[in-house]
Amino acid sequence: MAEVEVIRLAKSFGTHDIIRDLDLKIEDGEFVVLVGPSGCGKTTLLRMIAGLEPTTAGEIHIGARDVTHLSPKNRDIAMVFQSYALYPHMTAAENMGFSLKLAKIPAAKIADQVARAAKLLHIDHLLSRKPRELSGGQRQRVAMGRAMVREPAVYLFDEPLSNLDAQLRTSMRAEIKRMHLEEKQTVIYVTHDQIEAMTLADRIVAMRAGKIEQIGSPDDLYNRPASTFVAKFIGSPAMNLLPAELAGGEIRVTDGPVFALPPAFAHLRAETGRKVLLGIRPEAFHLSPAQAGWPAFEVTASLIEPCGAEVYVIGDLAGQEVTLRLAPGTAPARGESRSFFADTAALHLFDAVTERSLRDDDDNQGQKP
C-alpha cells in the first residue's frame, strides 16, 4: 500500500491540453473516486499514473518514489481498464494468475489467490472457461480478479462495473466496499455512476476539462458544491438552478417569490443587485414547511415520472423547468399547480457570473480556474 501524489501534472496530445497543471494527493489506504463529463481526462490521468501514457510535464510519486519515468511494471500498480483485454487463449484462472506466474510465485499460492479473488467476484464456477465463452460482465470480473490477485500498492479502476447488469453492479459495489474496508488498499476509481461515487469514495474528485473543480467527501460535494458545475454534476436528478437577485437581505427569484437569506448566506445581507443562481435539490421540496420561514414555490406539473419508491415531477417554477422528488401518492396531477416549501438549510446560492458558491463556510474550492 502507498500514497499517490501528482504534482503539476500536464498532458497534451498535439495542441490539445488534456490535463492541465493538476495537483492531487491521495493518502495511503484512501479510496478516491474521479468523476467528470466524458472527455474531461479521467482515463488519461489514470493511464499516466499507471505509466501507460508519458507525461507532458509534472511528477508522479507512489509511496516514497518518484515514478514519473518508471515503466508500468516497476510502479507496483494494477489497472482495470474501461475496455479490458484478456488473453484469449488462456482460461479465466490462467488470465487471473498470469502476472503471479511471471513473478515466479509457486503454483499452489497462485491457485489460492485466484480462488479467493474468484469467490469475491462470484466467478469461481467460470475459472476453466476461455474469454470467448464468457459474457461481457463476466470478462470484466475476470479482469478485476487479475488486478486483485497481485495485491499491488495501488489499484486504478476505470469504470470497472460499467458492463454489469444493475443487480450484479449493486452486489459488486458492496463487495468492493467490503474489500476496501477490510484490506484498506489505495484505490483510484473512475465512474459515471453517482451511487458508486457516493458510496465508495472517501473523497470524490470532480474533474472539468483536465482540471480539478472540487475535491471533498461525498457529503461536501453533495451538500456544499463549490460551483454550479459540481452542483449539476453530483446528484440525480440534478440540482435545480433558478435565476435570482440579492436585495437587502432578501433573495428575489426572477418572476418568483421573495424571501429572507438563509443563515449560511447571511454574510451577503448588505448586497443589493447581485445576480445569483438559487440552487434547490429535487428532494428539498416539501408539501408543508417543517419550520417557520421556509419559502414557498408554486410549481405547475408538466410530467410525472413514477420510479417505484419515489416520483419525479417535472414542472414549471416561475418560468423555469424544475424537477421535484416526491413520495409516491403525494405528487400533483399533470397540469395541476401546487405550493411546495423548500428546506432553507438545503438552499444553495451561486454567483451568476462566476458560477462559484457564495456559501460562507466554503473552504474547499478545488483548483481555481
Ligand X SMILES: Nc1ncnc2c1ncn2[C@@H]1O[C@H](COP(=O)(O)OP(=O)(O)OP(=O)(O)O)[C@@H](O)[C@H]1O
Q: Nearest distance from residue 175's CB to Mg ion, in Å?
A: 22
Member of 20, 33, 35, 41 binding ligand X (CB under 6 A): 41
Q: Nearest distance from residue 190's CB to ligand X, in Å?
A: 7
Pick the closest to residue 312 from 255, 243, 234, 240 (CA basis): 240
How far is residue 272 from each of residues 48, 241, 247, measured CA to CA in Å? 47, 20, 4
Ramachandran angles phi, psi of 338, nearest 5° = -150, 155
Give the three-state DSSP class for 283.
helix
Q: Nearest distance from residue 44's CB to Mg ion, in Å?
A: 8
How far is residue 275 from each of residues 8, 224, 330, measured CA to CA in Å? 34, 20, 34
**Distance between CA 51 and CA 75 in Å, rounded?**
8
Q: Nearest distance from residue 40's CB to ligand X, in Å?
A: 4
Task: Name the one range near ligand X by CB under 6 A: 33-41, 162-170, 317-325, 335-343.
Answer: 33-41
Task: Name the one range near Mg ion by CB under 5 A: 40-48, 55-63, 97-105, 149-157.
Answer: 40-48
Member of 18, 123, 148, 154 binding ligand X (CB under 6 A): 18
Member of 43, 113, 185, 344 binding Mg ion (CB under 5 A): 43
Binding status of residue 13 toward ligand X by CB under 6 A: yes
Member of 4, 40, 322, 331 binding ligand X (CB under 6 A): 40
**Distance between CA 241 and CA 238 in Å, rounded?**
9
Q: Considering the complex, state which of residue 190 and residue 277 has its C-beta at the smaller distance from Mg ion.
A: 190
Half-sphere exposure of 11 (CA within 13 A, CB side): 26
Pick the closest to residue 214 from 350, 361, 359, 362 (CA basis): 362
Cβ partners under 8 Å of residue 183, min gap 6: none
**Distance between CA 346 and CA 221 in Å, rounded?**
13
Of all residues in this chain, which one has the CB nearest to Mg ion in the complex? 43
Q: Considering the complex, state which of residue 189 and residue 294 has its C-beta at the smaller distance from ligand X.
A: 189
Q: Considering the complex, state which of residue 43 and residue 163 has its C-beta at the smaller distance from Mg ion.
A: 43
Q: Nearest distance from residue 37's CB to ligand X, in Å?
A: 7
Q: Considering the complex, state which of residue 210 and residue 295 has its C-beta at the smaller distance from ligand X.
A: 210
> Residues in the site for Mg ion, rule: CB under 5 A?
43
